[in-house]
Every structure is written in structure tokens, then in C-alpha cells.
């Protein structure tokens, strides 16, 4: 399977570019099969690397899947011996230090199924250039440290009335043959990955924002006519994000126009192209009738994320792709804080921590494990990972925790001031944080270079005679591929101490009740004085560091923390630990072939949570949610999929039956039938209401299924409708479930986003997502293998959310995924490489599963020439590289 083009790139080999591009003038003559791209570049030798009296090095232009038509220098056609087309690009011999280069190429957007570069989505032209897609448009130094001022002219038939690119529209005319010709200029120098072009028959909604300095910015959201009623929430979110970035970071928007375009075919969530963000439709369009609360909150977060990139990413960008977390970690931290300010802070934190613990920790322990700043890669698009994004955001959060709010802001101000208009490194970010505050983050930097999840083991001691309490913390990080020896990290451990009544104890003479311990050694002891009786520690509050924490809490202590901890995150965490402990005990019983015992302590804990009407209902809903099968699988090696599924179902049903009356009472109290709003308090009530409904249906009482049926038929908003449908499908009689699913499809078949929800509901269902059904969904008329959202809903939904069916004993789930990955690699390598993830974790399973998964991976490997994307993941997972 060895791919001749798959070679490894190393950070240590970084070299500044030989040439700079001051101006980039592009003209697109759009045609589905033969788009003509003319690129005029003002090129000059990079003075930072030039030496006197040198022979000029060749100019390297990246290019892939391009048909080269002509090359000229300073207006003269270049003879063929002056340039050479090679795999991956074009090398030009250069005879002057500054020149104008013109390159003409032809491309076929219609045939582009990779969704990188210029392609068509439902007849609309659009682009995706990050990380290395611009080279599929024209020959260019496609690297983020080459920043240029772009002018873009688009010529298209009048059937494409909307022609967009970055910056300001400076010209618009009709050509003699009746075509439209529009020119855009972006006054800010940018790397090619931020280039964007859109052309189509689009409608838009418009609004405006007045910046802190009083400038008016025009805001436009473009979409196909049928979706124009689904733009309001994204527009409101954008305005909130613009205000928040001014208030919290002092960052004002810099152009007079900001545009968002929704497209149906998109590999990722969205893209921060300068002044022209492009979004996956599912991440921007919403109405109460069609979108769930989760979708509303996701849209708010992603609109903010892309907007925040205007400063953290665009004005200050990355020197090279090893620095990806510089913009992504920082921007994810910014969008998380924004969401926390707009909604419930504790709930946002809980959701992010669940993602880290289930998926990022698994990545850190798997064959693709890498540091926040990777040292090497074969295919950069494989490194848009949870480690770079989420762990990267945790690293920024730890700097925030260590320095404090105001010092962090001083650091961020200095960072933007110092590096505005530049392409910089993670190191530059840390240095700005240090310089603005005379802080020392020397040891802290290891978080960027060391992979793996640290484990903290905490023990404590109390001396009544001295009134002295001490915490001893040991840290170690397990080995990861290519990194065997790990050094101690600088870890902020936020703590509090509770007395017997649950009140917080003062931790020192200043009387503060919470503090951040700086753990820097492999083992360290922290001592507290004046403690009158043995306290209960509340550790790692708010998840102050991305680590696994071990302390031998008893069930009684966890129940106590659930009730009394002043940190709402740690109350939830105590509840999760209680659930994890119960499920682990059940697993031991299951694996020993013993009868399963009712998880009474857990039920007791849940009862207390349900009875506490003073708690935020959203927090209650989170506390009552059992850890997912995926999260349980992350807990230990030698995973037994059948045991995980069995004990989770057993515990869920036991809880449902024991607390049925309480669930019903809360369901009734929360079923208020108010008109829908996506306000945090309303979302909170719906989430607890639907958690109760799910447990009620799990308990199997016919009256509960009637409740779900009524809620489904009322169809008041998609959150309630989808939750009721999911409960009916999972717990109702089979023939009826079919009918409900069919009714739902009939009602919503015109709505792309709802159909995606409908697909996902089935593929992720333990009961209804059997392989045969999932295969049938793939030949459903609404399925489109070229649309990543559909593939994610059906195939990834099955492989990543349907633990029961995916791990079927005959290995058919693994084989199915292997078949899909092989087929998709021919169409869309990025999606194929992401889809294969569940198979890469084969070493974690017990022999039965692991052997079958490895065979499926090997079959992919032997299936012929793989894309470099898929090759990297598969070969690293099989341990060949
Ligand atoms: C919120 O980071 C968090 C993460 C790259 C594409 C969007 O802005 C982005 C792009 C990938 C994975 C996750 C996200 C994005 C991408 C994302 C979006 C919103 N620069 Br790949
Ligand atoms: Zn981003």
C-alpha cells in the first residue's frame, strides 16, 4: 500500500520562504468543467534569507490536480526549459530578484469530490483552502508564512448573480456577452489558506453592527432561497460575538463588510476566510421547528469561533502548520468562554470536559497520539484533531488560570500588538504572556511538546494535634509513540477543602476558600494549617488541567461532594465518579459471570439530585446522564464491549424503575408548553424534561410511551419532537417505531438538516441501527455519499455512537466500516481518514474484538493505493511506520 507521495514533514526542518508575494491578482472564468484561473503575482526575493551576490534559488509553487496552460515572467512567456512540473508543484528558475509572474491554469470544479479547492455544492461554486487546498486552484507558494494582498475578479454567466470573495467589492459590470464580472479587494495581507470565492443564485439577509469606535459594519448571510427563514439565530449570534470580542478582548472588526455563506457540501464545521466565512449549512441554519437546542448552541459557538479567528488566526496567523494550535487552541478557548458567558458556565464546562475525557484522552492514548504542537506529519489535515483544538484550548486555559484574568488580558493585548499582520509561533504566544507580566512559563511550555495525558495520584494526611492537613500529589505521563520519557509538567490544581458540615474551610491566613496549587515536581506535598478537623478535599475544580485524577473517594464522600461542593463542576464530577464506580463494579460482576446487583448507592445519589429543586435543571440533567459506552471504554484497557453495553443498560433500567415516580413528577412540572426560545433557562428545562422522559420510557410503563407519543405528536419544537421520537424508537414496540419514523420523514423530507437528524437517530440506535438497516439507509433517496454530513450521520453515527451494533460479535460492524472507508477514499480522502478512527483503537480491546478490528484495518491497507490522508492513519495504527 506504500504511497510514493506519503512523506513525513518535520518541524525541525522549517525554513523561511525564499520568495515573498506582495500582491496576488486572481481572475476566475467560471465553468463547471473548465474554469480558467489566471494568477498574477508580484514576487520578490525574501530579504530575510537573501545573501549578497548569490545565485537565485528556484521559485517553488505548490500545485495539485491542475492543468497548466502558460507561465510568463514580466509579460514574456517563459520557455519550457525554465520551469519544470513535478509531483506536487512547479519549480521555476529565476533570473531576477523581483518580477511579475503570470500563471494560467484550468480546473474542473464539477469533478472535485474532495471538497478542497474550488468545487460545486448544489450548483453553487465555493472554496475550501485550509490547510492546503489553494494549490488545487492555482500554482502558488501555499504556506501560511507567505502573506499577500489579494484582488479577485470573478466572471460568470448571469445564472450566478451572486459573486463573492474576500474584502470589499470594488467593481461590478456586465460583459459584452452578458456575463457578470465582479472584482473584490482585500486590503489585509493574508496567506492563501484564507482565500475564498463563492458564486451562485443566492439570497441573503442583512443587518449591521456598530463597532466600539462607531464604524458601521454591514453583515450579510447568504443561502439558497429555501433556507432564508433559518438565518436569524446565526445573525444574532454574530452580533453577540462581535460585541463580546470588543468587551472582553478589546478587539474591533476591521472591514466594512462581514459575510457568511451556508453550503451543504462541506468537510468541516466552518471556515474563517477573511471577511467571507463559509459554513456547513448544519452549523449555521436553524429554526425552532427544525433545529434542536444542541444545534442552536452549536451554531452560536461556531459563528463566534469563526468570527474570533479574524484576530486570532487572520490578523495574527500561523508561521507553519505545526503551529496550528496557536490559532485553534486560542480560538476554541475564546469561543468556550463566550458560550459560558452567554449560557450556563458550568454546563458548558461539563460538555467540553466530556469531549476531552471520551475522545481527546482516547486520541492521546492511541496510535495517532501527538503533542499540541506536533513534531511531524504526513498529511496536515489529519492533525485538525481534538488534541490540537481541545487540549490546545486547555493549555491556553491553564495560562489563564496561572496568570489570572487581568494578566491574561495584558498578555493577549501584547500578543496582538506585537504580531499584528505577522505569521508566528506558539512560542511567540507564550513569550507575549510572559513579557506582559514578568511571568515564568519555562516549564509550562512542555505542554506544547509533550504528548499523552498526565495522571495525578493524590493522597492526604491529617494531624489533629497540629491542625495540619497535607495533600501529596504525584504526576506521571504514560509513554506515547516516539516519546518514551516524559518530564514533569507545570500543572495548576485548583482546590478547596470542605468541613463536616460541607462548608468551605479557609486555606490560609488570607481566608480564601479556593486556591491554585502549582504542581511542578514529580511528587510534591502541600500543607494547610489551622484545620480543626479532617477535611474532605475538592480537587481539580472546574477541571483546572487536562489530566486524569486519582484519589480514593468513598461513595459516601462522593455523595457528600455532590451535595455540598461550592464548585458546580465538581458536584457533577462527583456524581460521574459515583456512576463510574458503580458501573465498574457491575462490570466485574458481569465478567465473573455473577448476578448483577442493583446499583443502590448510585440510585440514592440520583434521587437526592432529583429532589434538589434549587439546582440548575441543566446541571441536574447532566448529573443524571450515565457516562457513555465510549467514555466507559476509555477507562481501561482490555475493553469488553458486550460487558460495557450490558451493565450500562442494566444500571439505566434499574435507575429508571427505582425513580420512576420522581421522573414523572419532574417531567410534569417541566412540561410547560411555553413558546420556544433558545434562551439558556429554557434549554435547561427542556434538557431535564427530556432526560426524565427517556428514563420513564426505559422503565417500560405503557403510560410513559403515551407521554412520549403525545409530545411527539404535539411537535412544538424539534428538541422535544426529536427527544420523544428517540425514546419511542428505543423503547417502544417495533412496528409503532417504524410508523413514527415514517411519519417524521414524510413531514420533514424537504429539510436537509432534519433529514440528517433522522438518519442519525436510526444509525445511532442500539435497537434500530442494526447493520442491515444502516446499509438500507445508504440506498435511501436522501442519502448522498458525496455529502459529508450524510456520511457522518449514517456511517460515523453507526461506528462512533452505536456501540452495541458496531461491536457485534461476528465482526460485521468492523467489516462494514472498512468497506465504507475504502470506497470513500476514492471520493473524499479527508472524510475517509476521519471515518477510520474507531478502527484505530484496536489495541485497547480484548483479544476477541481486537483481532477482528485489526483484520479490517489490514484489509483497508491491502485494498490498493490509498490517499496520503488514509495511508498515514492506517499505517500508524497498524504500527508499520
Ligand atoms: C468550533 O477551526 C470549533 C472547531 C478549520 C476547520 C473550524 O475554524 C476552523 C477551521 C475543523 C475542525 C473543527 C473546527 C473547524 C475545522 C471547529 C469549528 C468550530 N479553521 Br477541521
Ligand atoms: Zn478554528
pLDDT tens digits, one per residue of 653-689:
999 999 999 999 999 999 988 999 999 999 999 999 9
Which positions are annotated as active-site residues? 306
Confirm if 724 and 697 have CB atoms less than 8 A apart. no
The answer, yes or no, to whether residue 580 has pLDDT greater than 90, is yes
Q: Quick one: which ligand is closest to 384's CA?
A: 1
In sequence order, what DSSP letters do the residues of 430-441 get, joined into one string?
Answer: HHHHHHTTT---
Q: Quick one: which ligand is closest to 271's CA?
A: 1
384 lines ligand 1 (CB under 6 A): yes
Q: Which residue's CA is the closest to the ligand 1 atom numbered 10?
A: 271
Percent of the chain having pLDDT more than 90?
97
- Tell how far the Cα of 309 is from the centroid of ligand 2, in angstroms: 7
328 lines ligand 1 (CB under 6 A): yes
Taking every pair of Cα atoms in the chain, the longest distance, rounded to a whole number of angstroms, is: 96
Return d(Cα 704, Cα 691) in angstroms, integer.
13
Q: If DSSP codes are grouped into helix, strand and coil, which group holds residue 33?
A: coil
For residue 54, what pLDDT is reported?
86
pLDDT digit string, tens, across residues 322-336: 999 999 999 999 999
Give every strand in the sheet of 536-538, ordered side by side. Answer: 515-519, 491-498, 536-538
For residue 636, what pLDDT is reported?
79
306 lines ligand 1 (CB under 6 A): yes
Q: Which of 303, 313, 389 to mutate to test the pocket of ligand 1 (most atoms within 8 A of CB)?
A: 389
pLDDT digit string, tens, across residues 221-256: 999 999 999 999 999 999 999 999 999 999 999 999
For residue 3, what pLDDT is reported?
47
For residue 680, what pLDDT is reported?
95
pLDDT band at 1 (very low <50, low <70, confident <90, very high): very low
- Ligand 1 atom nearest to 384, measured from its CA: 21
Q: Which of 133, 268, 318 to mutate to test the pocket of ligand 1 (most atoms within 8 A of CB)?
A: 268
Return d(Cα 242, Cα 74) in angstroms, integer.
43
Return d(Cα 166, Cα 184) in angstroms, integer.
6
Q: Quick one: which ligand is closest to 382's CA?
A: 1
Q: Which residue's CA is the closest to the ligand 1 atom numbered 9?
A: 271
599: buried, middle or exposed (CB in 10 Å: 19+, 13-18, 0-12)?
A: buried
pLDDT band at 637 (very low <50, low <70, confident <90, very high): confident
332 lines ligand 1 (CB under 6 A): yes
305 lines ligand 1 (CB under 6 A): yes
Instruction: Please compute the mean of the pLDDT values over residues 64-76 and round it to a whole number.
Output: 98
- Tell how far the Cα of 270 is from the centroid of ligand 1, in angstroms: 6
Of 843, 792, 846, 842, residue with least CA distance to 820? 792
Return d(Cα 228, Cα 230) in angstroms, integer.
5
Rounded to the nearest 5 percent, the helix, strand and coil shares of the chain are 45, 20, 35
- Tell how far the Cα of 778 is from the centroid of ligand 2, in angstroms: 31
**C-alpha distance from residue 38 to each of 26, 27, 69, 107 (Å):** 6, 5, 10, 11
Q: Quick one: which ligand is closest to 303's CA?
A: 1
The pTM of this model reads: 0.98
Return d(Cα 1, Cα 863) in angstroms, integer.
8
270 lines ligand 1 (CB under 6 A): yes
Question: What is the signed CA dihedral for 271, 273, 276, 281, rounded to 10 degrees?
Answer: -10
- Tell how far the Cα of 820 is from the centroid of ligand 1, in angstroms: 24
130 lines ligand 1 (CB under 6 A): yes
**C-alpha distance from residue 836 to each of 28, 515, 795, 829 (Å):** 36, 43, 10, 11
- Tell how far the Cα of 330 is from the centroid of ligand 2, in angstroms: 9
Quote the strand ranges of 726-805, DSSP E.
Answer: none
- Tell how far the Cα of 272 is from the centroid of ligand 1, in angstroms: 9
Q: Which residue's CA is the closest to the ligand 1 atom numbered 11?
A: 268
Instruction: Please compute the mean of the pLDDT values over residues 389-404 and round it to a whole number.
Output: 99
Q: Which residue's CA is the closest to the ligand 1 atom numbered 1?
A: 302
271 lines ligand 1 (CB under 6 A): yes
Return d(Cα 35, Cα 107) in angstroms, integer.
5
Q: Which of 115, 278, 283, 305 to mutate to test the pocket of ligand 1 (most atoms within 8 A of CB)?
A: 305
In sequence order, what DSSP letters do the residues of 638-693 get, joined into one string?
Answer: SB-HHHHHHHHHHHHHHHHHHTHHHHHHHHHHH---PPP---HHHHHHHHHHHHHH
Return d(Cα 742, Cα 281) in angstroms, integer.
24
For residue 2, what pLDDT is reported?
46
Residue 687 CB coordination number (10 Å): 23
Confirm if 769 and 729 have CB atoms less than 8 A apart. no
Return d(Cα 257, Cα 672) in angstroms, integer.
42
**C-alpha distance from residue 44 to each of 21, 91, 421, 474, 572 (Å):** 6, 16, 18, 55, 58
Residue 143 is classified by DSSP as: S
Confirm if 107 and 135 have CB atoms less than 8 A apart. no
Confirm if 375 and 848 have CB atoms less than 8 A apart. no
Residues 6+ apart with CB under 8 A from 774: 762, 763, 794, 795, 798, 805, 816
The answer, yes or no, to whether residue 100 has pLDDT greater than 70, is yes
For residue 5, what pLDDT is reported?
57
Grid cell for residue 498 = 470542605
Assign residue 353 a region (left: φ > 0; alpha: ψ between -120 and 50; beta: otherwise): alpha
Place of cell 420556544: 676
Q: Which of 132, 190, 192, 269 to mutate to test the pocket of ligand 1 (most atoms within 8 A of CB)?
A: 269
Q: Quick one: which ligand is closest to 831's CA?
A: 1
pLDDT digit string, tens, across residues 585-612: 999 999 999 999 999 999 999 999 999 9
Residue 728 CB coordination number (10 Å): 22
Instruction: Please compute the mean of the pLDDT values over residues 798-805 and round it to a whole number.
Output: 95
- Tell how far the Cα of 839 is from the centroid of ligand 2, in angstroms: 26
- Ligand 1 atom nearest to 313, measured from its CA: 20
- Tell how far the Cα of 385 is from the centroid of ligand 1, in angstroms: 10
Confirm if 386 and 659 have CB atoms less than 8 A apart. no
Q: If DSSP codes are grouped into helix, strand and coil, which group holds residue 769?
A: coil
Bond prior to 131 in cis (omega within 30° of 0): yes
Amino acid at each position: 500500500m506504500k504511497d510514493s507521495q506519503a512523506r513525513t514533514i518535520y518541524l525541525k526542518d522549517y525554513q523561511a520562504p525564499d520568495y515573498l508575494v506582495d500582491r496576488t491578482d486572481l481572475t476566475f472564468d467560471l465553468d463547471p468543467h473548465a474554469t480558467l484561473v489566471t494568477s498574477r503575482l508580484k514576487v520578490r526575493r525574501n530579504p530575510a534569507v537573501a545573501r549578497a551576490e548569490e545565485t537565485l534559488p528556484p521559485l517553488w509553487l505548490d500545485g495539485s490536480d491542475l492543468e497548466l496552460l502558460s507561465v510568463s515572467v514580466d509579460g514574456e512567456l517563459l520557455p519550457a526549459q525554465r520551469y519544470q512540473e513535478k509531483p506536487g508543484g512547479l519549480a521555476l528558475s529565476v533570473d531576477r530578484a523581483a518580477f511579475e509572474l503570470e500563471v494560467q491554469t484550468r480546473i474542473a470544479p464539477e469533478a472535485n469530490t474532495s471538497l478542497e479547492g474550488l468545487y460545486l455544492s448544489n450548483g453553487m461554486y465555493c472554496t475550501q483552502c485550509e490547510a492546503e487546498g489553494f494549490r488545487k486552484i492555482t500554482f502558488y507558494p501555499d504556506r501560511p508564512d507567505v502573506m499577500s494582498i489579494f484582488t479577485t475578479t470573478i466572471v460568470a454567466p448571469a445564472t450566478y448573480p451572486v459573486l463573492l470573495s474576500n474584502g470589499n467589492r470594488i467593481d461590478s459590470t456586465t460583459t459584452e456577452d452578458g456575463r457578470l464580472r465582479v472584482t473584490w479587494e482585500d486590503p489585509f495581507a493574508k496567506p492563501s489558506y484564507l482565500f475564498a470565492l463563492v458564486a451562485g443564485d443566492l439570497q441573503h439577509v442583512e443587518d449591521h453592527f456598530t463597532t466600539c469606535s462607531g464604524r458601521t459594519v454591514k453583515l450579510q448571510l447568504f443561502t439558497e432561497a429555501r433556507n432564508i427563514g433559518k438565518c436569524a439565530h446565526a445573525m444574532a449570534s454574530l452580533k453577540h460575538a462581535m460585541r463580546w470580542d470588543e468587551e472582553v478582548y478589546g478587539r474591533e472588526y476591521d472591514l466594512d463588510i462581514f459575510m457568511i455563506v451556508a453550503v451543504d457540501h462541506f468537510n468541516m464545521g466552518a471556515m474563517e476566510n477573511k471577511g467571507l466565512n463559509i459554513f456547513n449549512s448544519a452549523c449555521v441554519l436553524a429554526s425552532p421547528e427544525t433545529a434542536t437546542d444542541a444545534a442552536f448552541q452549536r451554531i452560536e459557538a461556531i459563528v463566534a469561533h469563526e468570527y474570533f479567528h479574524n484576530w486570532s488566526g487572520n490578523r495574527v496567523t500561523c508561521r507553519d502548520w505545526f503551529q496550528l494550535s496557536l490559532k485553534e487552541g486560542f480560538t476554541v478557548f475564546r469561543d468556550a468562554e463566550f458560550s459560558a458567558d452567554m449560557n450556563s458556565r458550568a454546563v458548558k464546562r461539563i460538555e467540553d470536559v466530556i469531549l476531552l475525557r471520551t475522545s481527546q484522552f482516547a486520541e492521546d492514548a492511541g496510535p495517532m497520539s501527538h503533542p499540541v504542537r506536533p513534531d511531524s506529519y504526513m498529511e496536515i489535515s489529519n492533525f485538525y484533531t481534538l488534541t490540537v483544538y481541545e487540549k490546545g484550548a486547555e493549555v491556553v486555559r491553564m495560562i489563564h488560570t496561572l496568570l489570572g484574568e487581568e494578566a491574561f488580558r495584558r498578555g493577549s493585548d501584547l500578543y496582538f500588538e506585537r504580531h499584528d499582520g505577522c505569521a508566528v509561533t506558539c512560542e511567540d504566544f507564550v513569550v507575549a504572556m510572559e513579557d506582559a507580566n514578568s511571568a515564568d512559563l519555562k516549564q509550562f511550555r512542555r505542554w506544547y511538546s509533550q504528548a499523552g495525558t498526565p495522571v495525578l495520584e493524590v493522597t492526604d494526611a491529617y494531624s489533629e494535634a497540629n491542625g495540619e492537613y497535607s495533600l501529596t500529589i504525584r504526576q506521571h505521563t504514560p509513554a506515547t509513540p516516539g516519546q518514551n520519557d516524559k518530564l514533569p509538567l507545570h500543572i495548576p490544581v485548583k482546590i478547596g477543602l470542605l468541613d463536616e458540615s460541607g462548608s468551605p474551610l479557609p486555606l490560609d491566613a488570607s481566608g480564601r476558600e479556593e486556591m491554585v496549587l502549582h504542581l511542578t515536581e514529580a511528587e510534591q506535598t502541600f500543607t494547610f494549617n489551622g484545620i480543626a478537623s479532617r477535611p474532605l478535599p475538592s480537587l481539580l475544580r472546574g477541571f483546572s488541567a487536562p489530566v486524569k485524577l486519582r484519589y480514593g473517594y468513598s461513595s459516601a464522600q462522593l455523595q457528600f461532594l455532590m451535595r455540598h461542593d461550592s464548585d458546580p463542576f465538581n458536584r457533577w464530577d462527583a456524581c460521574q465518579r459515583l456512576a463510574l464506580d458503580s458501573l465498574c463494579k457491575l462490570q466485574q460482576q458481569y465478567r465473573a459471570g455473577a448476578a448483577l446487583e442493583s446499583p443502590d448507592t448510585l440510585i440514592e445519589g440520583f434521587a437526592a439530585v432529583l429532589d434538589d429543586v434549587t439546582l440548575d435543571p441543566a446541571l441536574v440533567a447532566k448529573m443524571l446522564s450515565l457516562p457513555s459506552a465510549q467514555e466507559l471504554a476509555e477507562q481501561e484497557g482490555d475493553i469488553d464491549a458486550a460487558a460495557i453495553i450490558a451493565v450500562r443498560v442494566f444500571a439505566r433500567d434499574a435507575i429508571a424503575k427505582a425513580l420512576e415516580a420522581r421522573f414523572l413528577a419532574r417531567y410534569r412540572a417541566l412540561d410547560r408548553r411555553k413558546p420556544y426560545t433558545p434562551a439558556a433557562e429554557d434549554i435547561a428545562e427542556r434538557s431535564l424534561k427530556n432526560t426524565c422522559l427517556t428514563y420513564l420510557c426505559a422503565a417500560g410503563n405503557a403510560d410513559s410511551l403515551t407521554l412520549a407519543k403525545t409530545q411527539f405528536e404535539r411537535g412544538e419544537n424539534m428538541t422535544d419532537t426529536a427527544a420523544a421520537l428517540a425514546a419511542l424508537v428505543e423503547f417502544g414496540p417495533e412496528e409503532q417505531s417504524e410508523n413514527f419514523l415514517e411519519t417524521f420523514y414524510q413531514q420533514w423530507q424537504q429539510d436537509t438538516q432534519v433529514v440528517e437528524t433522522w438518519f442519525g437517530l436510526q444509525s445511532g440506535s442500539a435497537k434500530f441501527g442494526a447493520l442491515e438497516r444502516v446499509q438500507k439507509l445508504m440506498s435511501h433517496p436522501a442519502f448522498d455519499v458525496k455529502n459529508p454530513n450524510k456520511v457522518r450521520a449514517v456511517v460515523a453515527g453507526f461506528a462512533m455512537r452505536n456501540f452495541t451494533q458496531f461491536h457485534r460479535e461476528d465482526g460485521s460492524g468492523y467489516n462494514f466500516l472498512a468497506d465504507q472507508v475504502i470506497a470513500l477514499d476514492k471520493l473524499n480522502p479527508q472524510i475517509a481518514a476521519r471515518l477510520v478512527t474507531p478502527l484505530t483503537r484496536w489495541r485497547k480491546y480484548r483479544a476477541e474484538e481486537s483481532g477482528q478490528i485489526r483484520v479490517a484495518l489490514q484489509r483497508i491497507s491491502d485494498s490498493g493505493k490509498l490517499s496520503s490522508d488514509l495511508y498515514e492513519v492506517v499505517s500508524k495504527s497498524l504500527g508499520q511506520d
